[in-house]
Amino acid sequence: MERHDRKHSLGRLAVLVVAMGAILATSRLQAQESATVIDGVAAVVGKNIIKFSDIENAMLQVRMREGYESAQASKCELLESALISKLLVHKGQVDSVEVTDEEVETQVDYYLRNYIRQYGSKEALKTAMGFSYDEMHDLFFDMMKDRMLSQRVEHQLTQNIKVTPAEVAAYFAKMPKDSIPTIAEEYELEEIEIAPSIAQEEKERVKADLAELRERILKGERFAMLATLYSEDPGSAKKGGELGFFTRGDMVPEFEAAAFALKPGEVSPIIESSYGYHVLQLIERRGNTINVRHILKIPKVSSDDMLHTRVLLDSVANQIRLGNISFEEAAKKYSMAPNKAQGGAVTNPYTGNNRFNKEMAAERYPGISFSGMHEGDISAALNMKNDESKDVYRIVRLKRKIEAHAANLTDDYDKIANAALQEMQHQKVMDWASKMIKTTYIHLSDAYKDCTFELNWTKTNK
């Protein structure tokens, strides 16, 4: 399962993991490019330091993202961004804003396990990144604690900011014509999803296998060894079934209820979740977090059941094309996805709205080219993986295609409103920071004495 039970948005996870991975990669690249670089302190905010290597890493990230020739950010701009982050951290420390080690450990463990799953082992991870697991843990821990603290302080500053339609219109009206962004082609989509049924005999076979493993554990065999040999969760099986620390709300309800009911060392009965059948053992409890290991067995779908499902869904698509039933009615009648109540309308998990650009659409629906479809077209039934990594068949209807265009308030209100809100939030933080630096110890290295900053960081330079 390897944290597949988590309900968190994968989009948010991906952003954080990529950002942390970029820091590790650029740290390694920096060392490769110049083994003679001597690190030092670029700035101090309160008791928090910013190292020269922090700025170099940030610069390399920009260049990797935008290209060495087209990168726009300067080291002075990157330093000011780091100064604001550290000022938020300093405020959190002064006000005793709480970020517990358990919260940080839970997040760090989550990201590191995703890295190990990506690379296959701790050894492969070290080869790829140039850092041992323990070194990465320590680096991630410090980064994550500062990140969580600064985010909480920033949230306190900006949580009550709202943007009105009039403010959105005013924001857009002030935007220079040559700065109005081009919005790439987007799609509004509807889907019908059917999961092949699993024969009851197959479910009973899997439960019997798992019951035998549980009995062997109760008779003294090591849970971790049997998990390594027999668990069908490829990520955690390599670690003896261990999932790492998590808290309530991180796992699907059935798994979580069984896990939190256990005592250290206790083995659970067989439980069923949307991922299959499990046996759990509690390893350790730390406050509101627990660490468990598990064995997962997954009932298999037969090829006959897969074929039956595809034929059924293709038949549904044909009935919709013939006009015998609308797509929305068919979704409510046949679909097994949570969005059936909305007639199959698909929400973009990264943006929260109902639009997908080409890349996002291709990620969710591999094998379908929406750019070649017309509005109202319905795809053939295709085998895909759902959010729980299970085999399903889907048909997808292109409800609306929005051609590439210059942003406007009619088609892109949500995007413009979000940009306006972010601008207001940014200005709130900058206004706060301008006042905060007057009463905070700040020291900048002479290496940055010629920088032109948006805020007067040198006023208290000591």
Give the pLDDT of the chain (462 residues) as one tens digit per residue: 444 333 333 233 333 444 455 455 544 544 444 444 457 999 999 999 999 988 988 887 777 666 655 556 688 999 999 999 999 999 999 999 999 888 888 888 878 877 776 777 778 778 877 888 888 888 888 889 999 999 999 999 999 999 999 999 999 999 999 999 999 999 999 999 999 989 899 999 999 999 999 999 999 999 999 999 999 988 789 889 999 888 888 888 999 999 999 999 999 999 999 889 999 999 999 888 899 999 999 999 999 999 999 999 999 999 999 999 999 999 999 999 999 999 999 999 888 889 999 999 999 999 899 999 999 999 999 999 887 777 899 999 999 999 999 999 998 999 999 999 999 999 999 999 999 999 999 999 999 988 999 999 986 544
Residues of the chain with CATH 1.10.4030.10: 10-165+420-460
Superfamily of segment(s) 10-165+420-460: Porin chaperone SurA, peptide-binding domain (1.10.4030.10)
Segment holding 182, helix H or strand E:
strand 182-183
Q: Is 84 helix (H, G, I), strand (E, B) or coil?
A: helix
End-to-end CA distance of the chain: 53
Residue 362 CA to residue 364 CA, distance in Å, equals: 6
Residue 291 CA to residue 339 CA, distance in Å, equals: 33
For the domain spanning 200-297, the CATH number is 3.10.50.40
Name the one residue in this structure whose structure tokens are 């009105």.
164
The bridge status of strand 405-406 relative to strand 442-444 is: unpaired
Task: Give the residue among 372, 455, 432 at the shortest CA–CA distance from 90.
Answer: 432
Backbone φ and ψ of 339, nearest 5° = -85, 10
Residues of the chain with CATH 3.10.50.40: 183-197+302-406, 200-297
CATH of 183-197+302-406, one of 3.10.50.40, 3.40.630.30, 3.90.1720.10, 3.40.50.20: 3.10.50.40
- Look up residue 231 and give its two tokens: 């668990």
Residue 247 CA to residue 224 CA, distance in Å, equals: 22
